[in-house]
A and B are shown apart, each in its own frame.
Chain A
Amino acid sequence: MYDYGFFSYSSKEDMLERSRAFWNPNKTDFWQESGIDLVIDRREGYLFWDMDGRRLIDIHLNGGTYNLGHRNPELIATLEQAMQRFDIGNHHFPALARTALAEALVATCAPNMRRVIYGSGGGEAIDIAIKTARHTRGCRKIVSIAKAYHGHTGLAVGTGDDRFSKLFLADRPDEFVQVPFNDLEAMEEALRGRDVAAVIMETIPATYGFPLPEPGYLRAVKDLCERYDALYIADEVQTGLMRTGEMWGIAKAGVEPDILVIGKGITGGLYPIACVVVSEECSGWLKEDGFGHISTGGGAELGCVVALKVIEICGRPEVRSMVHYISDRFQSGLRAIQDLYPDWLVGIRQDGVVIGLEFDHPTGAKLVMKHLYANGVWAIFSTLDPRVLQYKPGILLGPELVDEILDRTEVAVAAAYAEVFRTPSRRLVTA
């Protein structure tokens, strides 16, 4: 009997059965078929436990949602304290926490940034960004990167892979143009007509396996935007909040975006909201018709209070220092694994703790994911490039847990290698 107080299941099988019956049969089965029979139970820091009691280290973090760890005690304390006074507030009125967070967020951004618009999740925030760009520029076209991922809401889904838009008859190829990543010519071609409202870019495309922008690429895209009167929307949902060693990854590229989208980690996985920071130029509709975008849960004030704390934590010098140590350790540790399996782990893409591991097999990352799972680590493959494993450690890790992750990774990489090449793993041979 698994009695959680609020609900109970007689067994894991019972749970999975009811998940199929009442929630999502295909998604439930997908994981069972992938060898990941995970049902997350207890969670704490960078660890969680499956309902069968197995301990796992989380280096998926829901794309950075748990950047500061699951149930971060400081954030829990903040939320609990906030609940003594606040709830989500009323989205129509000037609001205490929303305003305070907006001011704090603007202070973390490039000097051109002015105001914040709130949504309840990343997708909605992307929709807001697109709507804002269209209003500002007075045209519809949005250019995105092929294999980019910006969420699955109404407009966001149009910017992504058509697997998800066609499913719901939501593909609008005339409005949403896609160009390959790191291809400036294609970008210029798409913008040349001066009929593009905005280019939307993840600073490092996560779901595509974190291919790194070539040096100068993002800057050059911004220059093209300026030349052809398009706005630049930076999707910092996964690359923000110190994950690249800076508060916003885009700042490292030397780009001042017109619109910056924040989600996931901003509320530490406790009380979700998402934020869109916009320049003065993009603030037009906020002055013209402030009711233009309405979202009851958008910028819920409880979430805003948590977000303020997240910003404060991420801004600490201690955190900046630790991100460097952590990424250094992963860099050298992963290279050492690569040196053992150079023909298998063929690429390491890394910017801070944003890491993609590329394996020389069409679905190599799914295999490694499975073996990592068997070895106590949860990391997810890249949906849009299953050769690449998304490897996203937290920014508050200590050296012991980093070493443990690397140990487990080496064994998993070896096991996946052995499975693919049908040879004993080097690790087992040499051991």
Chain B
Amino acid sequence: MSVAELARHEPPGVPRARMMLQRAHWAATAFARYDNERVWRIVEAVAERAYADAEEFGEWAVRETGMGVAEHKRVKNELCSKGIVEAYRGQDFAGPRIDASRKLLELPHPAGVVFALAPSTNPVSTINFKILLSLMTRNAIVVSPHPLARECCVEAARRLAAAAVRAGAPDGAVQVVEEPTIPLIESLMADETTDVILATGGTAVVRAAYRSGNPAIGVGPGNVPALVDATADLAAAARKLIDSKAFDNSILCTNESVAIVEESVAAVFAKELQKAGGHVLDETEVEQVRERLFPAGRIRLDLLGKDASALAAAAELRVPQGTRVLVAPFALAVPEEPLAREKLFPLLGLVTVPDVQRGIQTAQAVLRIGGAGHSAVIHSRNPRAIMAYGVAVPVLRVAVNVGGSTGSAGFDTALAPSMTIGTGFYGRSSVAENLEPAHLVQWTRVAYASDRSVPFDEFEGIDPWSALPDARAAVTRASANGDATDPRDADLVREEIRRIVVEELRELVGR
């Protein structure tokens, strides 16, 4: 297809958005030369801004998307601002690494232009998270919000962009697509100026990211099994499950989908669930839930991120005051069972199993339906059970005796605190870990001969970009818009160089 034909078929807004990528590309070339101190000055300022606005955007996101709990979104926004910065403060993704023992010098290279998608479920927290990760690693980023959360995301990204530039980031280092559409996003994902795509969202968008031809870090959906065995502290387990399931009305991929409980403790556990704010449904109620919340077997999208009382009302159920989670027992985790699928609202499936081994099989069955590679939870005090569960269940992180919502996202475990959960090969993704800054920077490895007689060199104290004078290093904006230095100085220097060069030339010609 010719350029003209391509353009004619381009969806509206695409050419302008391509220009954002080009601007980001320029910004990235400048950003790549920043040292770690300048980088962190920017990161801290941006995190500060995001933290200060956490509450406002928590409320805004709920208002705009109709999903989740403002207060919990505030917490997520805070975790994804100061929380993230605290997790990585002191780290250096900009300076050389010297390993004298292996005679290796490693030099960091940012990806360049990051094209990042944010989902409607965790809109602003994801925006904060991806922007901060990009800035830590000296990448320019163009974020594209989910259309359902467009307004809050655009405003949040704009504010962070302004804060970044004010703190010294290159102009255009943070930009936001203001009118995202699916064809537009697909064009930007495939654009040759995009260096890496960070795709968080539905399966369709993640698959599109991988199809784009550009490097992509996309993560699949979750469908989290939570095994509660007979050794578990049942009261604590129930509390954590309910808290996690109620958190932000379940509108995160790490929240528990199906609790699997050993038969011997099932009755006690059900009572504990009830105490913690769960309402365990009887058979007719479960049938009502299936019918009303999953008409024709499909989850009702209008109920995503709504609270338990809204779900109860929709299912025409009477539930006790203070119910935070509906708990729906069912027998068999199979594809046609809607209760066995990912439920982004506070409805928890409950399966009772004779023993841990059957519990593991049920967890596997749950993950066959969806969520492979994502996350699982176990409440247990038996290391053998934990080990067996960890190896048999096809996920890449298991949260132990904590709620999945924050545990798998790394906010109260040693996992990397993240809004983007790598689902690895199981989940058709290129990353297995929680997304972290290291994913956005690659290293040139400068390697010496291993031969013992070959010495390594001393690199300590050499700044990569000023190791030699660089002719084309971008002059600062200040000098481009009116010289900050005295031009007479520059003239003197030039005069001097001129003299030396002329002398050199004379020598050469004379020879």
Cβ < 8 Å to A, chain B residues 14-70: 15-16, 19-20, 22-23, 25-27, 29-30
Chain A residues within an 8 Å CB radius of B175: 318
Contact of A332 among B473, B477, B481, B508 (CB under 8 A): B473
Complex: A320 Cα to B175 Cα, angstroms: 14
CB contacts under 8 Å to A, within B471-511, are 471-475, 477, 480-481, 494, 497-498, 501-502, 505, 508-509
Which of B7, B27, B494, B497 has most A Cβ within 10 Å?
Answer: B7
Which secondary structure dominates where chain B touches chain A? helix
User: Which one, B4, B172, B497, contacts A80 given CB within 8 A?
Assistant: B4
Partner of B498, one of A318, A321, A328, A342: A342
What's the least CB distance linking B14 to chain A, in Å?
9
A325–B19 CB distance below 8 A? no
Q: A210–B502 Cα gap in the complex (Å)?
A: 27
Q: Which B-chain residue is minimally distant from A324 (CB atoms)?
A: B480
Kindly specify which of A129-137, A259-267, A423-431 makes contact with the partner chain.
A423-431
Inter-chain contacts of A403 with B (CB < 8 A): 472
A28 at the B interface (CB under 8 A): no
Q: Min CB distance, A316 to chain B, in Å?
A: 6
**Cβ A71 vs Cβ B4 within 8 A:** yes
- Hey, which chain A residues are within 8 Å of B29, CB to CB? 325, 399
User: How many angstroms from the CA of A71 to the CA of B6 in the assembled complex?
Assistant: 12
Which chain B residues border A424 with CB–CB below 8 Å? 508
A398 to B481, CA, bound (A): 20
Q: Is A338 an interface residue (CB 8 A)?
A: yes
CB distance from A87 to the nearest CB of B (A): 19
User: Which of A80, A326, A328, A332 gathers the greatest number of chain B CB atoms within 10 Å?
Assistant: A328
Question: Considering the chains assembled together, what is the distance between the CA atoms of A74 and B7 in angstroms?
Answer: 6
Contact check, B7 vs A332: say whether CB atoms are below 8 A apart.
no
Distance (whole angstroms) from the CB of B29 to the closest CB of chain A: 5
B19 with A319: CB separation less than 8 A: yes
Which B residue's beta carbon lies closest to that of A44? B3
Is B10 interfacial (CB-CB < 8 Å)? Answer: yes
* Binary contact track A396-409/B, C-beta < 8 Å → 1, others 0: 10110001001000
Chain A residue numbers with a CB within 8 Å of B471 are 332-333, 335-336, 339
Residue A62 CB within 8 A of the other chain? no
Is B171 at the interface (CB under 8 A from chain A)? yes
Q: Is A286 an interface residue (CB 8 A)?
A: no
Contact flag A318-B472 (CB < 8 Å), given A76-B3, A324-B480, A398-B26: no
B318 within 8 A of A: no
- The number of residues on chain A lying at the interface, defined by a beta carbon within 8 Å of a beta carbon of chain B, is 39
List of B residues within 8 angstroms of A318 by Cβ = 16, 19-20, 22-23, 172, 175
- State in angstroms the CA–CA spacing of A429 and B26 once bound together: 33
Residues in A whose Cβ lies below 8 Å from that of B477: 324, 328
If over half of A's interface residues share one DSSP class (helix, strand or loop), that class is named, otherwise mixed; here it is helix
- Cross-chain contact B480 with A322 (CB below 8 angstroms): no
The answer on a CB contact under 8 Å between A316 and B16 is yes
A406 and B472 contacting across the interface, CB-CB below 8 Å = yes
Contact with A along B275-308 (1 / 0, CB 8 A): 0000000000000000000000000000000000
> With contacts A325-B26, A332-B474, A342-B501 known, is A77 near B16, CB below 8 A?
no
Min distance, Cβ A252 to any Cβ of chain B, angstroms: 10
For residue B14, which residue of chain A has the nearest CB?
A: A74
In whole angstroms, how far apart are the Cα atoms of A336 and B473 in the complex? 10
Q: Which residues of A contact B27 (CB under 8 A)?
A: 321, 325
**Contact, CB under 8 Å: A322 / B22:** yes
Residue A331 at the chain B interface, CB threshold 8 Å:
yes
A375 an interface residue at 8 Å Cβ cutoff? no
A74 contacts across to B, CB distance below 8 A: 7, 15
Contacts of B22 in A (CB 8 A): 318, 322, 396, 398
- Give the complex CA separation of A339 and B509 in angstroms: 19
B8 at the interface (CB under 8 A from A): yes
A339 / chain B contacts, CB cutoff of 8 Å: 471, 494, 497, 501
Least Cβ distance of B192 to chain A in Å?
10
Closest to A352 in B: B480
> Which of A81, A340, A342: most chain B Cβ within 10 A?
A342
**Is A321 touching B472 in the complex (CB atoms < 8 A)?**
no
B472 touching A333, Cβ below 8 Å:
yes
A63: shortest Cβ distance to chain B, in Å? 23
Q: Which of A332, A426, A429 has the most CB of B within 10 A?
A: A332
A73 touches B472 (CB 8 A): no
Contact of A76 among B7, B26, B508 (CB under 8 A): B7
Q: How far is the CA of A75 from the CA of B203 in the complex (A)?
A: 36
**Contact A73/B497 with A321-B171, A399-B25, A423-B508 known, Cβ cut-off 8 Å:** no
Please name the residue on chain B nearest to A333 by beta carbon.
B472
Task: Please indicate the chain A residues that have their CB under 8 angstroms from the CB of B171 in the complex.
Answer: 321, 324-325
Question: A55: which B residues are within 8 A, CB to CB?
Answer: none
The B-contacting residues of A in range 221-278, CB under 8 angstroms, are: none
Task: List, in ascending order, chain A residues with CB within 8 A of B16's CB.
Answer: 316, 318
Contacts of A406 in B (CB 8 A): 472
Q: Which of A323-366 contact B (CB under 8 A)?
A: 324-329, 331-333, 335-336, 338-343
Q: Are A336 and B472 in contact (CB under 8 A)?
A: yes
- CB-CB nearest in chain A for B480: A328
Q: Which residues of B contact A80 (CB under 8 A)?
A: 4, 8
Least CB distance from A167 to B in Å reads 40
When the two chains form their complex, are residues B494 and A325 in contact, meaning their CB atoms are under 8 A apart?
no
| Chain B residues, CB < 8 A from A335 | 471
- Complex: how many Å from CA A327 to CA B15? 22
Q: Other than A73-B4, A336-B471, give 6 A-B pairs with Cβ distance below 8 A.
A: A74-B7, A324-B171, A324-B477, A324-B481, A328-B480, A329-B472
3 interchain residue pairs of minimum CB distance: A336-B471, A342-B498, A73-B7
| A/B interface sample: 11 pairs, CB < 8 A | A73-B4, A73-B15, A77-B7, A324-B480, A324-B481, A328-B480, A332-B475, A342-B501, A396-B22, A398-B26, A399-B26
On A, residues with C-beta under 8 Å from B are 44, 71, 73-74, 76-77, 80-81, 316, 318-319, 321-322, 324-329, 331-333, 335-336, 338-343, 396, 398-399, 403, 406, 423-424, 426, 429
